Chain A
Amino acid sequence: MRFRAKIVDLACLNHFSRVTNTIAKLAKTCTLRLTVSKLYFILSDKVANGGVSMWCELSQGNFFDEFQIEGVAAEHNEIYLELVPENLSRALKTAQSAKAVKIKLTNKHCPCLRVAVELPSLSSSSRIVTHDIPVGVIPRRLWNDFREPSVPDFDVSVYLPLLKTMKSVVERMKNLSNSIVIEANLSGEMNLKIETDLVSVTTHFKDLGNPPWASEDGCQSSAQGRDLERMAEARIDIKKLQQLLAGQQVNPTKALCNIVSKRIVHFILLHEDVSLQYFIPALA
């Protein structure tokens, strides 16, 4: 099992660094899945996470100048690692002016992802900083736990408002309540509501637009026969929503959410070369 990768381009490094920062805000521990063409940051929905799950997918070619992987076996050319994403984002944080960053899977005393940053220096030899991030190697028989989640059978799918606006609204609401209700309808309207003994606050968004999903037979309810004004709603943990919004450092190309009434909210944030899906279950 081998893995080595190298980033030389500063813009790619910054981009990758931003991705790891986002993931670090969403999960304390997560699974990193490496394949020949892609990297995935996965959080599967365990009770310990509060039921949230995450699937983040990157095309390695958009970030790395070199990327070599030798998986567990020829027909399973993949590697699954468990790690603390905060370590990875910290290692990359001070590499902003690096000449090169190399990442390699090693096993000196325990399996580690070694991030070696080559920094410019006044002397002839570069300064080298190495960060040994301890990882857990996940054996093949557990790989089924980390399959890509399917898009749920949602009631409403709606584009999100400007994330910056949504973030500042949710941040203020967080001070008043532990849970927030997201509701939206097929007319492009969305409301964020909190209700406590003392106060209830609702923020209304209009003209958001509803993304067109290819209708599969019988799977998604088609627009005809559905009340366009009817709201699908779910009450979710406000902190989880705030973490998702706070972690976004760049505006996504597309941001939408699918609501299954009273069950789950499925967020999809798409950038040019990164896609992030985040599931927040509804509170009982």
Chain B
Amino acid sequence: MKCVITGSNVKVLGRAVHSLSRIGDELYLEPTESGLSLRAVNSSRSAFAAFLFAPLFFQLYEAGGRQPDRELLRCKVLMKSFLGIFRSLPSLEKTVGKCLILLKPRASRLVVQLHCKYGVTKTHNLAFQECERLQAVFDTQSCASSLCAPARVLAEAVVHFPQTLAEVTLGAGPGGKISLRNYVEDEAEPTKTMVTELWLAKEEFQTVAVAPGSRITFCLKEFRGLLTFAEASNLPLTIHYDVPGRPVVFTLDDAVLEVHLVLATLSDPESGSQPPTANGVSHLPAPSDDFADDLESYMIAMETSAYEAGSGVPPSPTFPLHTPRPAESDPEEEEEEEEEGAVPGTPPHKKFRSLFFGSVLMPGGPGPAPTQEVLAEDSDGEY
């Protein structure tokens, strides 16, 4: 495989690598006839990203070897090494005029050569490993809901959540409004955690085709990586989602670039087994000017109740206290593998289901494997 990238596209490639580095530790390179695909997956197989650069993106693009019958080589390299080449985006923009990527199977080296100003050439030789095709199984057509918005709108929305926030819930509310809210785990004290919720009007989106009342919860960290890329490229972001537990797919489309980010979503707990908590809303009320304001009765109850002096909030007489479910025996947040085709008799614990996966078992075989066999299963004894 040989390709040459020039001008501002070098920075685009760099940004793509930065985005992928938020996902996994290895970068998969897959040259195809329709372009060069860069992919990454995280260790728990709950996040997958793929950047497909069309041949037009390159000044020169040769997918295969010289012999026409030679199969296209797929390889993976350490993300850290590849990212190191594109680490400083400002200096990429200022000094690099041309980037050459060359796969030398006989020398077992992936060569990345940067041609910079003043005649300086930086050549990086990376070791690579041949690998199987990394492909997540997803189908945006089968998703019940989709949204499309300029990346900037979503970036401005996400800024209100702390950098350390793990998961966020996206929901379709009344009046076509879309909400984003931080996800509070059951185990965390609902009376101690701050809940942030943002409402976006339908008009802020380019398209809104969502199932009313639908909502999904996904990991914010990986999403932020894609959002940074989308904002910089000024591309609208499309979100496809379905029921909780099914993956959410984020896509960016351009003439020369196609990006997919697939994230696992939290599947719903069994309904009815959980008393209403601050976060477990069944309807998402749109914000109005009159908040519920019945502190009077609460205060009277507090003054007359015979509890110990302390700083804790006593149980409110009006609303049930959240009690931990007896079935909740799994305190660790572990992301389990789920085979595609698995019967929905999955454990009731609310954990992220992993996506999709399967690598294709037959090397060189295009398309997803007929059986979604998991190559490396999580050991069950860890709960």
List chain A positions with a Cβ less than 8 A from chain B: 1-2, 29, 72, 82, 84, 87, 90-91, 94, 104-111, 114, 116, 121-125, 127-134, 136-142
Contacts and interface: CB of A to CB of B under 8 A. Distances in A.
A90 B309 contact: no
A136 B295 contact: no
Main secondary structure of the interface of B (DSSP, over half): loop
A277 to B, nearest CB: 22
Contacts of A131: 194-197
Contact of B192 (A72, A129, A134): A134
A137 B302 contact: yes
Contacts of B293: 2, 104-107
Contacts of B302: 137, 139
B159 interface: yes
Given A107-B298, A109-B278, A137 B313 contact: yes
B292 A106 contact: yes
Contacts of A2: 293, 295
A141 to B, nearest CB: 7
A167 B130 CA distance: 55
A90 B194 CA distance: 10
Contact of A123 (B190, B194, B204, B316): B204
A116 B313 CA distance: 23
Contacts of B294: 107
Contacts of A114: 291
B283 to A, nearest CB: 13
B238 to A, nearest CB: 19
Interface of B: 156-157, 159-160, 162, 190-204, 276-278, 287, 291-296, 298-299, 302-303, 309, 311-313, 316, 318-319
B194 A127 contact: no
B195 A127 contact: no
B303 A91 contact: no
Contact of B194 (A87, A111, A128, A129): A87
A134 B311 contact: no
Given A132-B194, A134-B192, 15 more contacts: A1-B295, A1-B296, A72-B299, A82-B311, A91-B194, A94-B160, A105-B295, A107-B316, A107-B318, A116-B287, A123-B203, A123-B204, A127-B201, A137-B295, A139-B309
B287 A130 contact: yes
A134 B193 contact: yes
Interchain residue pairs A-B with the least CB separation, the first 3? A123-B203, A110-B191, A1-B295
Contacts of A109: 190-191, 276-278, 316, 319
A29 B316 CA distance: 21
Contacts of A141: 309
A108 B299 contact: no
B317 to A, nearest CB: 11
Given A121-B201, A136-B313, A142-B309, A129 B295 contact: no
A52 B278 CA distance: 33
A91 B196 contact: yes
B278 to A, nearest CB: 5
A76 to B, nearest CB: 11
A94 to B, nearest CB: 5
Nearest to B177: A125
A84 B194 CA distance: 9
B198 A129 contact: yes
A226 to B, nearest CB: 43
Nearest to B193: A134
Contacts of A105: 293, 295
A132 B299 contact: no
B203 A124 contact: yes
B299 A1 contact: yes
Contacts of B198: 127-130
A87 B157 CA distance: 18
A132 B291 CA distance: 12
16 contacts: A2-B293, A90-B194, A107-B292, A107-B295, A107-B318, A108-B291, A109-B276, A111-B298, A122-B204, A124-B201, A127-B157, A127-B204, A128-B198, A131-B196, A137-B313, A139-B309
